[in-house]
Chains A and B, each alone.
Chain A
Amino acid sequence: MRYLAICLSALCSAILISFPLQAYEIEGQHRFGPDDANRVLRIISTADVDILEPLMTLYLKGQPDVAIDYTLVSSGELMTAIADEGAQFDLALSSAMDLQIKLANDGFSAVHESSATDLVPEWGNWRNHVFAFSQEEASIVVSPQAFAGLPMPRDRQELINILRRHPERFAGRVATYDLRQSGTGYLFATQDARTTETFWRLMEVMGSLDAQLFCCSGVMIEAVSRGDLAVAYNVLGSYARAREDLADSIAVIDPADITSMMLRTAILLKGANEDALARSFIDHLLRSAWGADTVPEYPFYKWHLDRSEAAAATKPIRLGPGLLVFLDAQKRKRFLRAWLAAIKQE
């Protein structure tokens, strides 16, 4: 009897291991490369698949026995999948820098060092665990139509002045991320609060204009292009600039006082099944991002090669334990309370 019980429990656990209870929400699953590939690199990512597809295709070229399994999730779900549910992936790519740092800090990542990691600037590499492979600007997207007859704002102070002077024109037509929903929005807002003095004033001005709150950059960009919105604050400039079809109906402004740069980061997950593949994929990403050669498949703007004035005002958000501060439940609670008080003004 006892043997049977042991056998049964062993069987149960075997089943549990092979089919783990999946509680995190998947937004999309994609597979690249041959179906009968011997090796499958499992990537969990927050980046839309079409952004990274060319790079992945480039990577798979000349490796007939390798395929990539690409799981698209939100940044919060990525954290849940790895930290809470122990989902089996080889690589995590995310725009949520704070969560990536937390994963690395809490010991879910593995160290990686190669000639490619040497290319990464010092601020883009945290203890050889977290590697930045893009810089994306937090921009102000405006509708040129809405600003007809008005000067275009160049920084936050000018935006505040214009909004204050023309409340009738902008009432109900200003927007930003809903920090309660969006990790990227929360990251940008907390960095703004830390690095600029004008952030809270801007939030109050926007609150007085009945600011609209959105989940994602894409929606805001489209709303601006339709003319529904006049100003969308802290929108991913990389997304806005990528929409060439909307180039005439939107204007993208990188605040001249300071433009926070979000870094998309990659971490090698501890206990990766395809450790070698994961490492070579990270190297591939980093070479495309930081190498001197132009890689047409690389989807992001290479700000580090830009010597213009606009690039001089950019400031990459610092990777490091400081990012853990805003993940603290108490801190988040207080910050959101203050922010809601400003933006909602109820």
Chain B
Amino acid sequence: MTEIPQSSGSLSRRLTLQLMSGAAILATMLYFVVLNVARDLAETSQDNILFASATAILEATSVQGEEVEVDIPYGALSMLGNVSDDRVFYRISVADTFLTGYRDLPQDPQENGAGSRYFTDTYKGESVRAITVMRRISLNAQAADVAVTVAQTRTGQMATVARMSQVALISGAGFFTVAAVLAVLTARSAIRPLNRLAGSVSRRGPKDMRPVIGPVPSEMVPLVTSLNRFMARLKTSLTRSEDFIAEAAHRVRTPLATVRTQAEVLLRRVDREENRHSLREMIRAIDESSRAAGQLLDHAMVTYRTDHLERERIDLAELVRELVARLQPVAELKDLTLVADLEGDAWLHGDAILIQNAVRNILDNAIKYSPRERKITVSVKRDGESINLQVTDEAGGFPTEGSALLTERFARGQNSAGTVGSGLGLTIAKEVAEAHGGSLILNNTKDGGGACVTLQFV
């Protein structure tokens, strides 16, 4: 049972959100900055032209005898019409006395009687931008201040600002969109090495304990180092326990053989039926233990060899033929017919000892579970790219439930009661098949009268 760790939220989503909110803040700032600049610019350009206009009028002011006369240049007012279709007002006064223009136009005179000042006011029901420029002249031997005020409504300025704010809005939105796309891409690419590592680890076979050696970003090096160290420890510990099991099995099997021989010698000597029965039970138990020890050894050997798989060209048909010949005596003990159904050669690259071991385990099972006087068929057939080795028996087939679990270690079928076995046979076959890139397929025959075990090599 794998424990799924509690998720504290998606790293990539958090990264995306943070980048996007940053982009949103920047886009909003961009909008307001552009808007401010546009407003300043529009106001400045209007101010400049107002200044030019007022200055032109002021320069056309002259003293004629005892009076001040103004000859407003045509350009002074028409230039205001060049930039926008706005209403234009002006007022000229000398020493606080109205001279010409719009009498009630507000003005903003300065104390010192020179220079210019801009202001915004309301005139004739509309907001106006205005400037008052002043000059001190000598009139009747006295100093008099000439004040020229030029005002213009701000429709054009507002239109410019509105247009610019639209541009600012569009560029802000565009900036945000681009930044958002980049944020998503960045988050994805930042997370990619993590996903790659997770993928490469989770794709591994159950026994693959090799260290991760692919390049990883420096931030992930500690994690991967720890992972590698952890796997190395796990591998050592696994090897040690398998070694231990193999050693134990080996140590147990030899004395068991001695005990069995002794028990058989004893059986021949003992006459009393109940004692003979006990001895037979004993021999049976010893057989079972011995077989289990053998399979444990086989399994340890398979585990070792699959870790260091040596591939050589072998003829599966030849291998099966030899094995059938070797097991023929065992089968005959139960009056079983062991048939090899071979179609020419079947060459493949693999570890002959492992494959032999796997096939022997399957055949052992078939022999073990078959009632007397039945038939067991071993066939080797090419099927396109793959080679199928199939063992068919007439032992009643696998129980319909739980056949998938049969290849688990120490799992035994429901019909195994009374049969010697450890439950490692099919596990060994499966591991060998998988080590060669193949698979083990368990079926029942079509009539349901037997099992059909297939070793498929691709």
Size of the chain B interface, CB-CB below 8 angstroms: 25
* Closest beta carbon of chain B to A76's beta carbon, Å: 18
Kindly state the separation between the CA atoms of A330 and B100 in the bound complex, as whole angstroms. 7
Closest to A125 in B: B85
> Which A55-106 residues sit within 8 Å CB-CB of chain B?
104-106
By the criterion CB–CB under 8 Å, are A325 and B85 in contact?
A: no
Q: Which residues of A contact B70 (CB under 8 A)?
A: 328, 330-331
Q: Known: A322-B81, A325-B77. Contact between A330 and B72, CB under 8 A?
A: yes
Kindly state the separation between the CA atoms of A324 and B326 in the bound complex, as whole angstroms. 125
What is B's interface to A at a CB cutoff of 8 Å? 69-78, 80-81, 85-89, 92, 99-101, 124-126, 155
By the criterion CB–CB under 8 Å, are A322 and B78 in contact?
A: yes
Closest to B75 in A: A322
Kindly identify which residue among B85, B88, B99, B124 contacts A324, using a CB–CB cutoff of 8 Å: B88
* Closest beta carbon of chain A to B290's beta carbon, Å: 108
Q: Mark contacts of A318-343 with chain B using CB atoms, 8 A cut-off: 1 yes-contact digit, 0 otherwise.
A: 10111011101111001000000000
* Closest beta carbon of chain B to A132's beta carbon, Å: 14
Q: In terms of DSSP, what is the predominant structure of the interface of chain B?
A: mixed
By the criterion CB–CB under 8 Å, are A107 and B125 in contact?
A: yes
Q: A106-B124, A321-B87 are in contact. List 7 more A-B contacts (CB 8 A).
A: A106-B87, A107-B124, A127-B87, A322-B75, A322-B78, A329-B100, A331-B72
Q: Which residues of B contact A334 (CB under 8 A)?
A: 69, 71
Q: Which residues of A contact B92 (CB under 8 A)?
A: 330
Closest 6 CB pairs of A and B: A322-B78, A320-B81, A127-B85, A321-B88, A321-B77, A330-B100
* Closest beta carbon of chain A to B131's beta carbon, Å: 15
* Closest beta carbon of chain A to B61's beta carbon, Å: 9
Q: Which residues of A contact B155 (CB under 8 A)?
A: 127
* Closest beta carbon of chain B to A116's beta carbon, Å: 18
By the criterion CB–CB under 8 Å, are A324 and B77 in contact?
A: yes
Is A126 in the interface zone, CB < 8 Å from B?
A: yes
By the criterion CB–CB under 8 Å, are B69 and A321 in contact?
A: no
Kindly state the separation between the CA atoms of A238 and B70 in the bound complex, as whole angstroms. 35
Kindly identify which residue among A127, A325, A328 contacts B78, using a CB–CB cutoff of 8 Å: A325
Kindly state the separation between the CA atoms of A58 and B412 in the bound complex, as whole angstroms. 110
Task: Give the interface centre of B73, B78, B124 by most chain A CB atoms within 10 Å.
Answer: B78
* Closest beta carbon of chain B to A39's beta carbon, Å: 28
Task: Give the interface centre of B74, B89, B155 by most chain A CB atoms within 10 Å.
Answer: B74
Q: Which residues of B contact A107 (CB under 8 A)?
A: 87, 124-126
Kindly state the separation between the CA atoms of A321 and B89 in the bound complex, as whole angstroms. 9
* Closest beta carbon of chain B to A326's beta carbon, Å: 8
Q: Which residues of B contact A106 (CB under 8 A)?
A: 87, 124
Q: Known: A330-B99, A330-B100. Contact between A325 and B76, CB under 8 A?
A: yes
Kindly state the separation between the CA atoms of A329 and B101 in the bound complex, as whole angstroms. 8
By the criterion CB–CB under 8 Å, are A328 and B125 in contact?
A: no
* Closest beta carbon of chain A to B91's beta carbon, Å: 11
By the criterion CB–CB under 8 Å, are B100 and A328 in contact?
A: yes
